Amino acid sequence: MPAQAKYTEVMTVIKRRIRAGDYLLSRFPGERKIAEETGVSYMTARRAVQELLEEKVLLRGPTGGLEVHPAFAKQTKPAEVVLLYPAYPSAYLTQLREVVSDFAQRRGIALRPAQFVHWDETALLEAVDQARGSIVIPYGPEIPARLLEPFRQNKVVILDGDFTSDGLPSIRLFTERCIEGVLEYLHRLGHRRIDCLNTQNRNPEIERRIDIWDRWLRRRGVDGHLWDDPAPVFTDPTIAARRLMLHLLEGKKLEATALVATTCPAAIGAQRAAWERGLTVGQDLSICAVNIEPPAEFFCPSITGLNMPDLVDVLERCFDWFYSSKDWSGPRLMEPTDSSLFKGESTGKPFVRTK
């Protein structure tokens, strides 16, 4: 069987990229760029493009640039919605990606997930500008002001944060009532000193969780202290939590009978430090997280915290908007109605010290 001609290989690569939504992340390249990317000569790339033009896979736009032909787009249904999230190895981000991807698949919509390292990546704005709709998981304390207008001009939804004051529809995953439910559970177990542990880089959602804990303490008349050592952006808060917890235990600074961590990685790090110092978590000290992520329920002991809520209703609203010609209507802040509390082995009744 004769070897496939090089130009046909290039055609196959371009078609695959179109189907995967790669050109949502960058503008369609010219022949010279295609030649560089595929390792062929300019003439080979040019022939591949010419064949794709004849097959109505591509067309020339008004300025002469290459674009995907509407007929090919209709036939192949390439990705039109993009999910943009921080390039950080996180079980939580992976879980969110799976939730959004599964929803899109059930609706028969191709989703293009893509990671970004910083807010000034050119691919970020190009994706938002070219996609039918974009879901962005933010990082850091704020979205830079220079991005807000492009985000508002296109159909962008923020996932896991409240940026409605910036005019952006936002999905906040855990209601205040659900977060208070974690604290109420500790209170029902008998805990009357509940400290908060945070090693997550500060952002609006982390600030909110700490504020909810603080207000709940005062309303309930419960004692507590905030132990706060935020890890730098794109570093592991688990390591920082272990280090902070070891410092607290070795210095005998911890008087609480229960710790609520702002995130699951912080709870994991604290739990490890407690084990290293001979404490039985769930008996000598209760440790939980506001929310858990896989595989927290399989740890020994399993970690108490809120499960990921059902996002079908809020994602339905977002995708309906992406595929409509209308502006956003109604409240911009969306919250799932409920999130169940996983009652793990990491929490129990307060340890009573005998004199």
Q: Where in the chain is the domain with CATH 3.40.50.2300?
A: 78-173+310-334, 176-307
**Can you list the positions of beta strands (E) in the chain?**
58-60, 66-68, 81-86, 111-116, 133-136, 156-159, 170-171, 194-198, 226-228, 258-261, 286-291, 304-306, 333-334, 341-342
Question: In angstroms, what is the C-alpha Rg of the chain?
Answer: 25
CA dihedral 86, 177, 167, 25 (to 10 degrees): 20
Q: Report the alpha-carbon distance of residue 148 to residue 156 in Å, rounded.
A: 10
Instruction: Decide if 81 contacts 132 (C-beta within 8 A).
Output: yes
CATH of 78-173+310-334, one of 3.40.50.2020, 3.40.1550.20, 3.40.50.2300, 3.40.30.10: 3.40.50.2300
Q: Which two tokens stand for residue 39?
A: 């390792």
Instruction: Decide if 45 contacts 34 (C-beta within 8 A).
Output: yes
Q: What is the pLDDT of residue 355?
A: 46
In this structure, are strands 304-306 and 286-291 parallel, antiparallel, or unpaired?
parallel
CATH 3.40.50.2300 is the classification of domain 176-307: yes
Q: Report the alpha-carbon distance of residue 109 to residue 254 in Å, rounded.
A: 50
Q: Report the alpha-carbon distance of residue 190 to residue 185 in Å, rounded.
A: 9
Q: What is the pLDDT of residue 353?
A: 61
Host H or E run for residue 8: helix 6-20
Q: What is the pLDDT of residue 268?
A: 98
Contacting residues for 143 by C-beta, under 8 A, at least 6 apart: 119, 151, 158, 163, 166, 168
Q: Report the alpha-carbon distance of residue 127 to residue 117 in Å, rounded.
A: 15
Domain 6-75: assigned CATH number: 1.10.10.10
Q: What residues form DSSP beta bridges with 85?
A: 115
Q: What is the pLDDT of residue 61?
A: 86
What pTM did the predictor assign? Answer: 0.84
Q: Tens of pLDDT along the chain (355 residues)? A: 344 688 889 888 988 888 877 777 667 888 998 999 899 999 999 999 898 999 888 889 888 888 888 787 777 666 789 999 999 888 999 999 999 999 999 999 989 999 998 999 888 888 898 889 999 999 887 899 999 999 999 999 999 999 999 999 999 999 999 999 999 999 999 999 999 999 999 999 999 999 999 999 999 999 999 999 999 988 899 999 999 999 999 999 999 999 999 999 999 999 999 999 999 999 999 999 999 999 999 999 999 999 999 999 999 999 999 999 999 999 999 999 889 999 999 999 998 665 4
Q: Which two tokens stand for residue 309?
A: 């809520």
Q: Where in the chain is the domain with CATH 1.10.10.10?
A: 6-75
Q: Which two tokens stand for residue 87?
A: 């390039």
Q: What is the pLDDT of residue 239?
A: 97
Instruction: Decide if 168 contacts 152 (C-beta within 8 A).
Output: yes
- Judge residue 9's burial from the number of C-beta atoms within 10 Å of its C-beta, 0-12 exposed, 13-18 middle, 19 or more buried: middle
Q: What residues form DSSP beta bridges with 113?
A: 83
Q: Which two tokens stand for residue 286?
A: 């209760």
Q: What is the pLDDT of residue 1?
A: 37
| Tokens 């609520």, located at residue | 260
Q: What is the pLDDT of residue 2?
A: 46
Q: What residues form DSSP beta bridges with 158?
A: 136, 170
At 16-48, the pLDDT tens digits run 888 877 777 667 888 998 999 899 999 999 999
